[in-house]
Structures are given as C-alpha cells and as structure tokens.
C-alpha cells in the first residue's frame, strides 16, 4: 500500500476532500459511528505521500491510510474477499482473537475465516467489542454493501439478508459503539441499492462521493503528466483537458491519458470528445444517449420567435448569468415540426453537451431507482448540460401510476424533485418534448420546473415553406436546380407540409433521378414527386396537437397570427370535442 505521511496542522481536515471533511466532522460529534458512502466509490482519491507530494489511490486505501491512519486497527470485509486487515499487526491480533473465539465456541476460524455474512459479522462484532473494551480505536470498512443489505421490502429478503440488516441496524445505535472510538463505513455505488432500514436510518450518515470537479481533474491531469512534455501528448492545454472532461471519473480520465501515452496518440479535441462520449455511455449502461451538437440555431428553418428566445437564453449562459435562466423548457407542437433538432441546435449554440434519456426502467425491483440515481449523479458532474426527454408525456409517467408497488410514483417524484432543485438552475437545462403537452402532469410543467413553454408549428407562409425547403436540401444533400419557390410547386388543396414531409419529398426526388440514371435532381423531378406525394393525413390528431400547443404556450409572440386570434374558450371547447372524437375512433 502507499505510505502516507501524517500531517499535524491547525486544521487537520484542510487537505481532505469535501466528503471526507463531512465524514470527519460527523464522527467528531460522537452521535454517529456508522457511515454510508455512495456515488463515485470506485474512483481514485488523493493521498498525501511521505515526501510531501500528492498521489492517488483507491477509496479503501484512502480510508485506511489517510482518514483512519491513526486507528489501532482497520479491518475490511466484503462477500468476495471475506475479512481482511490493513496491516500485518492487525492480522496477527485478529488471529489471536480467533484462537480464543475457537476455544470458546468450538469453531475452527483461526485456520480459515468464513466469508458468509452470517458468521463473518458475528466474528467482527466479537473482535470490535473486545478491543473497544480495551480502549482501542478501530475502523471497519464494508465494501459492496448492496450485496449485504439489498434494497427492497424486508419481507422479500432472505433470512441471511434480514440478519445482516438487523446486525448493522443494531451496530448503528449501539451505546458501546457510539461511545467508543470506532467507525463502521459501508460502501455502495447507489444509495437506492441499499436497504432503506440502513440508508434512512437516523443513526447512519449517508455521504455522497461526487465525480471530480474541474479543479480536481486539473490536479489529476498535472499529476499524471508530470515530467512529460504536454505538446507530445496533447494538442489540448492542461486546463482545457480538465474542462472538457466534465463527467469523467479519475479512473476514466486515467484511461484516456494512459492510452495516449502508451500508444503515442496525441489527444485532439475531436478524440477527447469521442472518448468522453464512449466512456460516459459505457458508464451509464445505455441509460443515456450522448449527443454531440453538430449545428447552431442558424440551421433551424422558421420558428423565428422561438429561436430568438433561445438565443437570448444562450447569450445569458455564455455570460454566466445562470440566475436568469429557466429551470427548463416544454417544447410542444405537432409531429414533424423539428422539436428535437431545435434543442440540439440550442446546445450547439453555446457548445454544451446534450444527453437524451433512454429507457431507464426495469422489471426488477430496485433497479429503476438505481438507474435513475446513476443518471442524476452524472448530470450533476456534467453541467452545464442540456437534458432532452422525448415523448415526455409517456416517458416520465405521473404520480398516480400504480400496479408496480409504487415504483412509478416514486420515480416520478424523484424526477420532479430533481428538476425543481434551484441549485441546478442554468447548470442542468431540461427540455421536455411532446406533441401532447396536455397529457404531461402539471407537476412537471409548472413554474420552477419546465418554466418556459415553446410552441412550434408547421410553416404558415410560403416564405417559411421555402426556407424549410432550403434547410432540408442542406440536410439531405439533395440540391435542385432552377427552383425559385418550393411553395409554388405544392399542388392546391394539400395540407401544410411538415419538415418530415419535405424531407421525404427530397429523398423521393433523388430516388426518381437515380432510377432514370441521373445524379442531378431537376425541378421536373421535384414537381412530379409533389404531384404524386400524398402526405399521411391525420387531420383530427394534427388539429388536437396544434390546439393543445396553443393552450400551453407561455408567450403570445410564439403563436402564428391565425392561432393568436383564437378565443381561449373556443380552444378549450374544441379540444374536449376532439378528445371525444379520437376516443370514438
């Protein structure tokens, strides 16, 4: 293990990470002896070396040598490795204690100590109590706590799991443990994976280990590249490396740097972005999709008022004025109006990453809550970040969800609470996308959560249709010569074209040209396809989506003239009629 220098200072906690300072202060109150560390428990932690320098080691090394280095005995336990000690002296003392235990209870643990929790915890309790009675100081570090006290209802746990829960619960408020110099530290990646009898116990102090901050990443990069010429390793400056790796643990950061050093591959901004995306998606196990914005709002055709509002928000973020930013946006409008594309372009406008929620729900008890906790921890480390939730009305659920022991209701409450945490204003920007905002629970679209409600509509004028045509021409790579006005080619009586419709027309026109042995799409190709094209027609659904978007919009300036003039009572009445008609269908 790494040798650590013990430093006597006026403030002995000054050099410790913030979470360790929090643990130490709680310990000094003598009201808590059991701690539950969760979050980045597999990451590296800073260590103070004998020569005065800074190194990095595992959390268990940090706990045993840095935080509990002055204790007489430090012990480790987990299901896989069983009981181990931090030093040879403690190992010998434990062996002597096991010899006495064998003589008293007729066991043979001095030769081979059991690994199963039922017997291992009895041995540990016996050792802790004996040494506490002698005035010794001890620390017990229990790793993979979720395998010992798994989350879920007590009635669903095995007899052994219930015994472990009862034992740790008893230790947490045991008078001898609280009065003595002993600390029991449980390690788990997710708080929700641990039984509520432990994680919510008033005698257990849960402490989150966050992913490293920009300052902490900078310290690690400098330590890793010490003695090496940065120019030979990276095109990105040291400060840039720290800034661009938000959301990565030190271990992930080490992978990027080690690969560059060993393979002699220089780190470029493009390589760093790709590696970061790869590592984060692997870390999330498919819970989030990492989207790298390729465009700015200049690429969005139409929707001028909505673009102006988002540009103003982007300007505020660039200036660091996060206090004026909305907590989130509700973006509504009929299908095919470019809601997803606009959000991606907004993120590209200010150069922040975009993550998209994927299916984090699971049929297995406790897994959904665990997945959501991983997502929240990553978002807190990634900021500033835009979070996109597509089809939000069906994806997020509501408080009334039933039939799953209340899991959906708890998940909805967790999401609503996280979204409404003003600590993340301007740091985590939520975008809830839906064509049916009326189905989205009020809890999510009220002020303090998705505060600004943007409404997008199909092109209303020939100018907007022509602008959208030019945008789709760039997107699809299909250029059509000699077209002065796309709108003029649309046959009379055809309903308003969406962006998706125009994209389909462009692709068909290219197909028609290739079928005739030509690479260039002509105006005649486009006109022929438009004459033949029959857009999918869902008039009632589209009318419903338009009207509910008008109802939800929080800015009159975003509404086209024909919708702005509509009477609110008429809209409400018509929406009720449409709902009845659609139910009949």
- Residue 362's contacts (CB-CB under 8 Å, 6 or more residues apart) are 368, 371
Neighbour-count burial for 520-540, b at 16+ CB within 10 Å, e otherwise: ebbeebbbebbeebebeeeee
- Residue 1 has a pLDDT of 38
- Residue 52 has a pLDDT of 67
Distance CA 352, CA 331 (A): 19
Distance CA 495, CA 334 (A): 13
- Residue 44 has a pLDDT of 94
CB atoms within 10 A of CB 59: 20
Distance CA 140, CA 74 (A): 6
Distance CA 6, CA 67 (A): 10
Distance CA 500, CA 274 (A): 29
- Residue 393 has a pLDDT of 83
Q: Are 396 and 303 spatial neighbours (Cβ–Cβ below 8 Å)?
A: no
- Residue 142's contacts (CB-CB under 8 Å, 6 or more residues apart) are 76, 77, 78, 148, 184, 185, 186, 187
Which run of H or E residues covers position 255?
helix 250-263
- Residue 410 has a pLDDT of 76
- Residue 245 has a pLDDT of 85
Residues of the chain with pLDDT under 50: 1-5, 7-8
- Residue 2 has a pLDDT of 41
- Using CB atoms within 10 Å of the CB of residue 289, give its burial: 0 to 12 exposed, 13 to 18 middle, 19+ buried: middle
What is the bridge-based pairing of β-strands 54-57 and 45-48? antiparallel
What is the bridge-based pairing of β-strands 34-39 and 204-209? parallel
- Residue 34 has a pLDDT of 96
Distance CA 93, CA 73 (A): 9
8-state DSSP, 389: E
- Residue 200 has a pLDDT of 92
- Residue 54 has a pLDDT of 79
- Residue 370 has a pLDDT of 77
Task: Summarize the chain as % helix, strand, coil (round to 5).
Answer: 50, 15, 35
Residue 563 has φ and ψ, to the nearest 5°, of -85, -30
Q: Give the torsion through C-alpha atoms of 303, 308, 311, 315, to 10 deg.
A: 180
């Amino acid at each position: 293990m790494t040798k650590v220098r013990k430093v006597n200072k006026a403030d002995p906690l000054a050099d410790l990470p913030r979470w360790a300072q929090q643990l130490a202060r709680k310990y000094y109150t003598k009201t808590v002896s059991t701690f539950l560390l969760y979050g980045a428990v597999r990451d590296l932690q800073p260590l103070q070396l004998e020569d005065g320098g800074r190194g990095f080691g595992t959390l268990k090394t940090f706990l045993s040598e840095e935080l509990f280095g002055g204790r007489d005995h430090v012990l480790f336990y987990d299901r896989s490795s069983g009981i181990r000690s931090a030093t040879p002296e403690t190992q010998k003392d434990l062996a002597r204690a096991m010899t006495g235990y064998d003589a008293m209870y007729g066991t043979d643990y001095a030769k081979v100590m059991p690994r199963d929790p039922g017997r291992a915890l009895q041995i540990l309790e016996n050792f802790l109590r004996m040494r506490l009675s002698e005035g010794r100081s001890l620390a017990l570090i229990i790793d993979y706590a979720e395998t010992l006290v798994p989350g879920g209802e007590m009635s669903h746990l095995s007899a052994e799991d219930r015994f472990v829960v009862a034992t740790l619960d008893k230790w947490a408020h045991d008078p001898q443990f609280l009065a003595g110099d002993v600390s029991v530290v449980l390690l788990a990646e997710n708080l929700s994976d641990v039984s509520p009898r432990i994680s919510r116990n008033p005698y257990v102090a849960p402490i989150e280990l966050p992913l490293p901050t920009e300052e902490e990443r900078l310290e690690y990069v400098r330590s890793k590249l010490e003695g090496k010429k940065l120019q030979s390793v990276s095109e990105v400056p040291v400060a840039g490396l720290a800034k661009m790796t938000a959301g990565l643990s030190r271990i992930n950061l080490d992978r990027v740097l080690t690969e560059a050093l060993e393979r002699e591959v220089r780190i470029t901004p493009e390589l760093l972005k790709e590696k970061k995306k790869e590592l984060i998606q692997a870390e999330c196990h498919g819970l989030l999709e990492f989207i790298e914005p390729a465009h700015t709002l200049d690429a969005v055709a139409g929707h001028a008022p909505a673009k102006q509002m988002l540009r103003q928000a982007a300007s505020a973020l660039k200036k660091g004025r996060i206090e004026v930013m909305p907590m989130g946006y509700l973006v509504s409008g009929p299908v095919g109006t470019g809601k997803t594309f606009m959000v991606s372009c907004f993120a590209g406008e200010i150069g922040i990453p975009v993550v998209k929620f994927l299916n984090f729900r699971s049929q297995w008890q406790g897994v959904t809550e665990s997945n959501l906790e991983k997502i929240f921890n990553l978002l807190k480390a990634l900021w500033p970040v835009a979070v996109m939730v597509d089809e939000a009305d069906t994806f997020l659920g509501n408080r009334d969800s039933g039939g799953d022991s209340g899991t959906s209701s708890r998940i909805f409450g967790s999401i609503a609470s996280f979204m409404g945490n003003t600590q993340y204003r301007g740091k985590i920007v939520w975008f809830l996308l839906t064509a049916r905002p009326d189905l989205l629970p009020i809890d999510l679209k009220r002020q303090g959560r998705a505060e600004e409600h943007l409404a997008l509509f199909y092109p209303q004028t020939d100018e907007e249709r022509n602008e959208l045509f030019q945008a789709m021409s760039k997107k699809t790579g299909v250029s059509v010569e000699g077209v002065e006005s796309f709108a003029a080619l649309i046959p009379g009586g055809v309903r308003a074209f969406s962006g998706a419709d125009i994209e389909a027309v462009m692709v068909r026109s290219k197909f028609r040209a290739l079928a005739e042995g030509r690479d260039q799409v002509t105006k005649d190709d486009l006109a022929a396809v438009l004459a033949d094209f029959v857009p999918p027609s869902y008039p009632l659904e589209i009318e419903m989506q338009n009207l509910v978007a008008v109802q939800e919009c929080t800015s009159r300036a975003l509404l086209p003239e024909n919708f702005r003039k509509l009477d609110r009572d008429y809209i409400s009445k018509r929406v009720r009629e449409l709902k009845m008609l659609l139910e009949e269908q």
